[in-house]
Structure 1
């Protein structure tokens, strides 16, 4: 069987895979990027569309930002959250720096842009229409991948193999990496609208509760509007998708005005989307993006974490690729620690809420406090933008401030009632 040798072989040419390929090649590595789709314009259909502010610096480094802005992707100001206590609308400190922005962009626009940057990067050998059919192992270590392309099979050997092939990762399956699955009590449908259906065209909106929804203004002058009800609503949606979708959105407090726009797509979605988590490394192998951790789409973390997890892997391993398997595995251990530290706590909270439970007392305190206190609202924005982790998000000083704000609110309310 014919085979070729690279420093890194990456299976999956979407956001995480292309990011890893670009960064490895810029560091001097020779990279094989294996993508099953034949067209460089292929894209993922199911997506939240939101990219968190924490990923934007890396997108600038990659050269993605000016290209998506040229394509019409709007910079998104802090997300406006509806809660049963009112709206949370984070604003900068008086006289302070503007709050960091994210982006909303359709994958139809984003995926080809990132892939073409990879295609144009010296050192990246993009192999379109190639499917990974197995891994090559020696002594319990992954040393390559077997691919099928154009009816022929061949091996690609590499110092490191990267699985960037999404939530149903074949690389993880071939490597025998188990998958932890958490049931999602909600399902999701979205559609694109043209027209002024939102109060502000540069703000993403999310309706927060046991039943949820979000609306993201995106490129092409379109707004992606999604509902994420609990599965008790599923029979109504199965009986009449158009009617149930429209009726659900019409009940949202301060929701989108669908009559002011035109739906220009079919209603797209899924009725079952469990959260998946895998160990992100094995000897000679790493998983990035959804292959390592696939979260609940309502939070809009997938694209940002795809960019970022790939960059963490490259940072931990790029200087070790030519130093032997032991050094590569030490780099993989560093990546595994980074991946766990950055994502596991956040995934735990997301998975816990995916069960459909009501807010717990801590969540009620923080969200109510954020409605009433600009500082607490900015803190929530930093967490939702993934600039801080769970420990800082739930710091005692933050909870104490929110509790004090809410207590003062109750006292003022009682005083007004007594009058």
Structure 2
């Protein structure tokens, strides 16, 4: 919809950030009768996030479906994100059970394709005003409650009031900082670099990840024949890596088991990355305010969960607050319900991610048990896949039955290896 020029406009909800989380929330809220101002600091409607895994986890498929994006993504060439993972015990290769349904999946798709697509959908949704070139510079407060935002535009300053302000503005969220939301920052002991390659063949045309203990790498095929190749080494390697970034990156990739043949493919991007990417956990709500996507919780990029969690948190927020945002319910109680869902669904995943990120060391005993069993048993590989796709949580992944099965798999393997006929 077109931008309004009136200062002091009042909306039901104002969302800062028109990326995945913000655009998804705007669409879902507006469909439920909520009037939404969707603010984006950049003026280009085709702007997109550059540093990203470009992966949408299977857990986010229902949100893509509700948004009506599945067919559009497939038409754009998004690649179903089935995967295989290298470990010291061999490859974990999840497959559907014999005669069973196909394994759940979502898509790998470049943000240059995805971001403009979902932002355009938001702009075309009745009830959404997409306001480009609007940078939030502060919050409007009534005591401890947030009741709007102050923004800077090329036409000057303006104030936009709303029952609810939503921060969908990334891991460094200005909205969260202005509101003084409690923030916990967790060290990441790895750094990361990635590059995009065209016509890079991968076995079975699916995603690959390498668990090298402690180093990591992955290769994700995307739309238009472009594959994202990323390396995430231990920070102890950073000084040497920086001395020759391109040489170090290529040497790392060439040294991977079943290495992607990068030398025969066309590199279509610079090598980009970050030397410090901490994990961030924030309270998801405050009076009159909610956070979604990376603004609420920034996971470790090696797991590729950020895009999926952005979409899911937008859906959880919508389900909790849509009625109250239009004045038909208790907004504070609705925000409490959203915070509870967000915490219940993601706290366990983040806890394990923080533990894995803070100390770049070989697998601990439980990780060794589960990864080795998954490399040796198809049922355990499927179980690992469901967890990696965030379709099940840590409690179910590490439930007593699963741990017992993994132990039995490894015991059978040791007995077979020790027998005269097992080598």
Which category of TM-score, normalised to the shorter sequence, fits these structures?
over 0.9
Task: Quote the residue 1:180 is aligned against.
Answer: 184
Task: Quote the residue 2:67 is aligned against.
Answer: 62
Within 5 Å, give how 1:186-335 maps onto structure 2.
186-201=190-205, 203-208=206-211, 209-323=213-327, 327-335=330-338
- Deviation readout 1:251-301 (Å, 9 max, x if unpaired): 111121123312121111111101111000000100000000001111000
Question: 263-272 or 393-402: which moved more?
Answer: 263-272
Q: Report SS of the residue matched to 1:339.
A: helix
Q: Report SS of the residue matched to 1:398.
A: helix
State the shift of 1:417 in Å: 7.4
Distance in 1 between the 2:50 and 2:173 partners? 17
Q: What is the aligned length?
A: 416
Q: Report SS of the residue matched to 1:69.
A: helix
Work out which of the residue numbers 343, 358, 365 in structure 1 matches 2:346: 343
Task: Quote the residue 1:48 is aligned against.
Answer: 53
Distance in 2 between the 1:416 and 1:235 partners? 48
Work out which of the residue numbers 383, 390, 414 in structure 2 matches 1:410: 414
Normalised to the residue count of structure 1, the TM-score between the two structures is: 0.97
Q: Report SS of the residue matched to 1:168.
A: coil
Distance in 2 between the 1:353 and 1:342 partners? 19
Task: Quote the residue 2:395 is aligned against.
Answer: 391
State the shift of 1:196 in Å: 3.6
State the shift of 1:139 in Å: 2.4
- Deviation readout 1:356-391 (Å, 9 max, x if unpaired): 122111111111111111111111111111111111
Distance in 2 between the 1:172 and 1:15 partners? 18
State the shift of 1:11 in Å: 0.6
Within 5 Å, give how 1:84-103 maps onto structure 2.
84-103=88-107
Work out which of the residue numbers 4, 8, 11 in structure 2 matches 1:6: 11
Work out which of the residue numbers 16, 20, 32 in structure 2 matches 1:15: 20
Q: Report SS of the residue matched to 2:229.
A: strand
Structure 1 gap ranges (5+)? none
Contact 1:197–1:260 (8 Å) recurs in 2? no
- Deviation readout 1:188-225 (Å, 9 max, x if unpaired): 11111112431222x11000131000000001111111
Task: Quote the residue 1:76 is aligned against.
Answer: 81
Distance in 2 between the 1:2 and 1:245 partners? 50
Distance in 1 between the 2:368 and 2:203 partners? 26
Distance in 1 between the 2:326 and 2:315 partners? 19
Structure 1 residues 415 and 274, CA, compared in 2 at 3 Å: closer, same or farther? same
Structure 2 gap ranges (5+)? 1-5
Task: Quote the residue 1:123 is aligned against.
Answer: 127
Normalised to the residue count of structure 2, the TM-score between the two structures is: 0.96
